[in-house]
């Protein structure tokens, strides 16, 4: 008998929770600073980087943009905007919302090998690539960030599990 494929797990993050987790990340990072600047991995790292920058009183913000997938398909990672101001990352803080499989993290680590890499959320496959994170979630969990969702009714877990 074939195994029934598991339904994906979802972990919904609200704006309030993201703000609290961003502040928790800043608490974890404050003793590692001061940082010369913060480099946000776009797009998911923009809001966490803004929260951390405010809490660490860091005003120099750079971005790096790596495209690895869209809503339809995953492809080879492409750097579409390099972090020119951050050099090799010495003294810089690199911030993203999540490290998942590590595909983006490996690309950015190669660009900024000396940066301190921090994410709010980490999955097991990508966790070894970051220096600091706040919350670990299972590899099969899809995190629903507030910029990707809108409020709607969700049936109880037991109902969706067929109980």
Check if the beta carbon of residue 145 is closer than 8 Å to that of residue 18: yes
Cα–Cα dist 76/106, whole Å: 12
> Would you say the C-alpha torsion 124, 8, 78, 83 has a positive or negative sign?
negative
Evaluate whether 43 touches 63 at the Cβ level (below 8 Å). Answer: no
- Catalytic annotation, residues: 96-97, 100
């Amino acid at each position: 008998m074939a195994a029934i494929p598991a339904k994906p797990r979802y972990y919904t993050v609200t704006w309030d929770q993201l703000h609290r987790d961003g502040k928790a990340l800043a608490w974890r990072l404050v003793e590692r600073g001061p940082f010369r600047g913060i480099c946000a991995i776009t797009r998911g790292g923009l809001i966490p980087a803004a929260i951390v920058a405010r809490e660490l009183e860091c005003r120099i913000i750079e971005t790096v943009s790596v495209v690895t997938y869209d809503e339809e398909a995953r492809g080879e990672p492409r750097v579409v905007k390099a972090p020119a101001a951050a050099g090799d990352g010495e003294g810089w803080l690199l911030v993203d919302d999540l490290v998942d499989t590590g595909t983006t993290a490996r690309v950015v680590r190669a660009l900024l090998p000396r940066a301190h890499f921090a994410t709010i959320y980490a999955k097991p496959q990508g966790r070894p690539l970051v220096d600091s994170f706040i919350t670990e979630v299972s590899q099969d969990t899809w995190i629903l960030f507030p910029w990707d969702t809108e409020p709607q009714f969700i049936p109880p877990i037991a109902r969706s599990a067929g109980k």
